[in-house]
Structure 1
Amino acid sequence: MGWSALALRVVVAGTPGGSAPAVEVVCEEEMTFGAGLANTPVDIPLDDESGEPVAGRIRRVDRFWLITNLSRSRTYVVENEEGSGEYVCVPPGRADMPVPFTRSRITLPSPTGLVCLSVTAPDPAYLASPEPSARPAHRPDEPTSAFGLDEHAKYFMVLVALCEPRLRDSSSPAIPSTPEIVRRLQHHGLCAGITEAAVNYHISYLARRKLRVRGDTRSARDAGARINWQRAAVVSTALRFRLVREEHLRLFATADADDETGAERHPPRRHQAYASGAAPPGPGNISSKSAS
């Protein structure tokens, strides 16, 4: 059966063999989900014996959808499967909460594990953009980009490397260290030969000048704590405002190919000491003159 591009589709996630049938929800239609009983059937049955017979409702409204939590004790989580860790919580009894995601995963906690539903909504609508030739000339009072990032600059490559773990796995808390970023970028044409001092400089530049992250870093106990806070703030800001997205990982394609072909010729001897227990050089031992 072919699905309409405007269909809202719901499927139980994690079923053996991925054989669970998808359910289509048409506009203004409502579907219930839960464990179900013989005298209390549901539209989307879940393998959740300890859960409510009717755990919740999904209602389609135009191009978006609403969720109702019919549980008296459980909070549901709706995650954005296309984003960088965004989610909304649906507390017990919450009715008709709008969900702003196109591809979502509803997670219900259960004593036997997590029970999940995947929901795919119709593509969102956007305002039509005028053709380049029809656009008026830039006016002095016209708003410009809030952050003004240059995607062809070295600092942007450093930013993508910082965000890479979260882009590949939105639940990952990992933030790469300076040596890890150097290893990631050292074979990239734009960043070939980049140093640890240069990476630290670019991160500081992003935090202070481009993303303008705010916080009292003076309260940190040492320079290392300030640097860690700054990195976390840069990653959080970049992902929240979608300044770095999954498609930017394609910038590493050339670097990955070069890394595979040159791994045997150029083993990463410099960083083998870190794996054996030696600490990488701290910020105080790096000369700013070596930044490139």
Structure 2
Amino acid sequence: MYSIIVVPPPTTEDTGRPAQIRLAPGERITFGRSAGNDVEIPHEGVSRRAGEIRAQGAYWILSNLCAHQTYVVENPEGAGEHVKVGPGRLEAPVPFEFSRIVLPAAGDLLAIQVWAPRHDYLRGGGGLDGETTAPAFSLDRGKRYFAVLAALCEPRLRGAPHAPLPTVDQVVERLAPVWPAASRASVQWNIDYLAVKLRLKPGPDAAESGPRLNGKKESLVSLALRFDLVGEDDLALLREPAR
């Protein structure tokens, strides 16, 4: 069964290579400028033997065979998430389902797409008898605080991982269709409530108030995207009235 799909960068030259290369677990391909590679990249800024991709079950590993250039593996769905593979690094594991290997090449940035669509899951219960585990983050998607969180995360979920976060006024404007009574005070209250609910700062009844949380919105969005507390599907809430 194939587990990894490699999509080479486009080229103006006819190299006779397929549009996609499918790898089964244990199979590998090399890429580089030389014609002896499985994926030939005819660019003077690419090493003759630049790297190797090997399928490893439900994920893949990348070897950087270049002696002087760092490769970056980006997660297009991860709001800026990436892995750097330094010169000479062998068998670096890449956990992303959709990946983009970015090769710096004499002023150009070339991209190799790698897909890992195979998902392996634990079958059966697999757990022990007894009390269930408490959820790490208890969020109600029907509440207004979750709509505020979705509005804060929206720019980065829309594919702009480094986009500045919306201001409180912009969040108020974004929520107006689903929450007409939203105001600066109510939105700010929900942001403060989220910071407590997600344990970024202690609650008002705590013995110690703790240090002031600077960059509160940035911390909330970073946590929410890192642990998938908000996804693209949740942006539909910005079109539906919250309870």
- What TM-score results when the alignment is normalised by the length of structure 1? 0.71
For residues 40-55 of structure 1, the aligned pairs below 5 Å read 41-55=36-50
Q: Percent identity?
A: 38
What SS is found at the alignment partner of 1:36? Answer: coil
CA deviation after TM superposition for structure 1 residue 151, in Å? 0.8
For residues 209-228 of structure 1, the aligned pairs below 5 Å read 209-213=196-200, 218=212, 226=214
Counterpart of 1:75, as a letter, is T
Residue number in structure 1 paired with 2:191: 203
CA deviation after TM superposition for structure 1 residue 109, in Å? 1.2
Residue number in structure 1 paired with 2:206: none
CA deviation after TM superposition for structure 1 residue 15, in Å? 5.3
Residue number in structure 1 paired with 2:205: none
How many residues end up aligned between the 2 structures? Answer: 228
User: Which of 9, 28, 31 is equivalent to 2:29?
Assistant: 31
CA distance in 2, matches of 1:170, 1:179: 20
User: Which of 232, 236, 239 is equivalent to 2:218?
Assistant: 232
CA distance in 1, matches of 2:31, 2:94: 17
What SS is found at the alignment partner of 2:105? Answer: coil
CA distance in 1, matches of 2:150, 2:62: 34
Residue number in structure 2 paired with 1:12: 8
CA deviation after TM superposition for structure 1 residue 30, in Å? 1.2
CA shift digits 1:23-80 (9 cap, x unpaired)? 112221110011114xxx1111224312211100001122221100001111111111
CA shift digits 1:170-220 (9 cap, x unpaired)? 4333100011101111111xx23211110111011111x2112269854x8
What SS is found at the alignment partner of 1:248? Answer: helix
Structure 1 residues 180 and 22: CA distance shift in structure 2, 3 A: same
What SS is found at the alignment partner of 2:186? Answer: helix
Residue number in structure 1 paired with 2:122: 127
1:193 aligns with 2:188: no
Residue number in structure 2 paired with 1:143: 133
CA deviation after TM superposition for structure 1 residue 96, in Å? 0.7
Residue number in structure 2 paired with 1:72: 67
User: Which of 206, 230, 235 is equivalent to 1:249?
Assistant: 235
Greater percentage in strand? 2
Structure 1 residues 59 and 177: CA distance shift in structure 2, 3 A: same
CA deviation after TM superposition for structure 1 residue 13, in Å? 3.9
User: Which of 133, 142, 153 is equivalent to 2:143?
Assistant: 153
Structure 1 gaps of 5+ residues are 221-225, 256-292
| RMSD between aligned residues | 2.5
Q: Would you say the 8 A contact 1:11–1:118 is kept in 2?
A: yes
Q: Would you say the 8 A contact 2:3–2:57 is kept in 1?
A: no
Counterpart of 1:12, as a letter, is P
CA deviation after TM superposition for structure 1 residue 98, in Å? 1.0
Greater percentage in helix? 1
